[in-house]
Every structure is written in C-alpha cells, then in structure tokens.
Amino acid sequence: MKFIDEVKIRVIAGDGGRGCVSFRREKFIPRGGPNGGNGGKGGDVIALADPQLTTLLDLRYQKQYKAGRGEHGLGKDQHGKTGEDRIIKVPVGTIIRDAGTGELIGDLKEAGQQVVVAAGGRGGKGNAHFVSSTNRSPRFAQPGEPGEDKELEIELRLLADVGIIGLPNAGKSTLIAAISAVRPKIADYPFTTLVPNLGVVAYGEGKSFVVADIPGLIEGAHEGHGLGDKFLRHVTRTSVLIHLLDASNIDEEDLLAEWKTVNRELELFDPELGKKPQIVVANKIDLPAGKNHAKLLAKKLPQGYQPLHSISAATTEGVRALAQYIGMRLEEIKQQDETGGDAAGL
C-alpha cells in the first residue's frame, strides 16, 4: 500500500438551521402566543485517531469533507434536529494544522483520541425565545450561523520509541528485520527503503519497544536531496536514535566523516533532533574490513556517544545484546523524564 504522510484537505462544518416565526392558532384558544422553534446546530467535522490506519492514503483521494446542516425550527415549538457530524479517521500520530494560519488544531497521539477540526454553526432562535413582558408577540427569529470552512494541513508522524538513521546501505533494513518481525525490502543498492518501516522488538519478559527504520540520509538531505528529509519528521517523536554506520566502508582517513555528515543533517533539519540520545552502532563486522574499522572507530568516537556497539545485522552477531541495551536506555530515559531529569545527557 502506498505510504502517504502529508495531505491537504478542505473541511466544511454544517450550517445552523434558522429559527422559526410562528404563532399559535387553535380553535377556542384566543390570543395564541408565539411558538416558533429554534434551528438545529450544524454538524461538526471531527478527526478521530484510528489504530487500524497507517497512512493518510484515503485522504489523498477525497479532498473535501462536509458535515450535515441543522434543520430549521418549526411551529408548535418544534426545534430543528442537529446536523450529522462527519468523522474523518486518521492514523495515530497525526498532526492537524489550519493551512491558512498555521495554527495547531490537534495532535492525535493516542488511539480513540479525537478533535473537532471544524465546528458546526449555531442554530438560530425562534420567535418563542424572544417573548418578554414588554414584547409579547415578537415577529422575528434568528438565522442560523454558518459552519466553519477550513483548509487543513494534515501530517503523519509515526509513533516509535527508537529511530534507526544512517547513510544509504548502512544496513538499517537488515537490522530492523533482525530484531523484529518486519520484513522490509533488502538489497545491495542505495534507497531500497522508500517508506518508513515500523517493528516491535521484544527485549525481556513482557517488555518491548517500537522501532522505525528511516530511509537513508545523504549530504544535503535537509534541503530535499535524496529521500531522508521527507521522512525525518518520523523520528522527531522518538526517545532514542540508533545511528548505524557501515563499518566495512568507512574512510580510514576520517573515520567519523559519515557519522558527522548524518548528525549535521539532523541538526539542520531540526536542532532538537541533534540533541536526542544516540546509540552509535558499527554494522557489518562479519566482513574483515568492518571488524578492523569498528575497533578503530571505537577509539575515535567522542566520549558522550560511547560505548560503540559492533554488530553484524546479516549474521545477527551482537544484535540481541544491542536490543537489550536499547531497552535499558529507554527505561533510563523514561525514569529521568518522570523525575524531570535531562535524558539528553545520558
């Protein structure tokens, strides 16, 4: 299924029904008073987070959503029926903004969470509402108010605990396949990952975390080069980043060149991304060059990013220990968040 994570749509809430001007006219009842009913409220347009959805694909094909209008008031004090709400189902993790003002309308992080994105118009009051001691026979009623009409920008940000980042061909897809049940496309050429992949990793009895594999970054990704900038938003919610390096293909003249390139792109895209805790992983140690380079890299890596984890995603060497370490780091970060500590300093 095509992965869509950004769309624009138009939402139109229902107009309120107009109030009614009516007077009671019945046999044997002289001087019947006003009995015009109120108009019904217009229906709202509501966005609902549905855990069964993983993409905004449906919204790509239907661009307009309209709620029902409120019914008009009637005589005999009959109030109009409220207009029917229109529900728009979106994936968990969806952010909704007003396209005109940029105002954040909703951030749906939990299944079942909902937000009114366009409010229905209020129904007009009938003439029975305006009866008073000084105005016993009002001959006017209110019109219904129009419902809100908005252009919305809808963006999906996947909810994951861990994001795997790195240059193309670092082995991100192979790693997520090794630690979870996800089976992404794996090949020996760049950009085999064209969409983010989500996997659940079990690291202890009853313990698990969600990991996202993000398409490879290249230099200039923050300016739109390659695919990385399109999907970097999906790691903004993560607690930890796994920075995966292809140890078999590291430049011996500058062992940290690739690591610096990716970190620079993260900071240029969003300075907060550059501050996230990182677990640096040297992959492909099943190859002689990879094993040798991993040893050299462990000595060069800045202290704040130690220890370096050496693995082979292809043979799963060191993968289980890495999953356990990631789980431990997540628990530490969660504890620090609960106590108000600084997780970035871990």
Range of the domain at 287: 162-345
* Structural domains counted in the chain: 2
Residues 31 and 175 in one domain: no
Rounded to the nearest angstrom, the gap between the alpha carbon of residue 282 and the centroid of all alpha carbons in its chain is 30
Strands 45-50 and 114-118, sheet pairing: antiparallel
Strand partners, 95: 107, 155
Residues 186 and 328 in one domain: yes
| pLDDT for residue 3 | 58
Q: Which residues of the chain carry a pLDDT beneath 50?
A: 1-2, 184-194, 218-228, 343-346
Of 156, 180, 211, the residue at which a domain comes to its end is 156
CATH of the domain at 215: 3.40.50.300
Residues 212 and 144 in one domain: no
Q: Strands, E, within 59-118: which ranges?
A: 64-66, 86-91, 94-98, 104-108, 114-118
Question: How far, in Å, CA of 199 to CA of 217, rounded?
Answer: 20
| pLDDT for residue 345 | 41
Mean pLDDT for the chain overall: 85
Residues 114 and 242 in one domain: no
Residue 1: inside a domain, yes or no?
no
Tokens of 302: 């800045």
Residue 190 near residue 168 (C-beta atoms within 8 A):
yes
CA-based nearest residue to 38, from 72, 15, 13, 68: 72
Residue 29 near residue 84 (C-beta atoms within 8 A):
no
CATH of the domain at 68: 2.70.210.12
Question: How far, in Å, CA of 2 to CA of 23, rounded?
Answer: 59
φ/ψ of 188, rounded to 5, equals -95, 40
CA-based nearest residue to 67, from 88, 53, 52, 93: 88
Residues 73 and 179 in one domain: no
| pLDDT for residue 308 | 93
Residue 289: inside a domain, yes or no?
yes
Residues 214 and 145 in one domain: no
CA-based nearest residue to 281, from 264, 252, 258, 251: 258
HSE of 339 in the Cβ direction (CA atoms, 13 Å)? Answer: 9
| pLDDT for residue 149 | 97
Residues 209 and 83 in one domain: no
- Residue that is written with structure tokens 């040893």 in the block: 295
CA-based nearest residue to 96, from 44, 152, 151: 152
Residues 67 and 116 in one domain: yes
Burial zone of 317 (CB within 10 Å; 0-12 exposed, 13-18 middle, 19+ buried): middle
Residues 129 and 197 in one domain: no
For the question of whether the overall pTM of this predicted structure is more than 0.75, the answer is: no
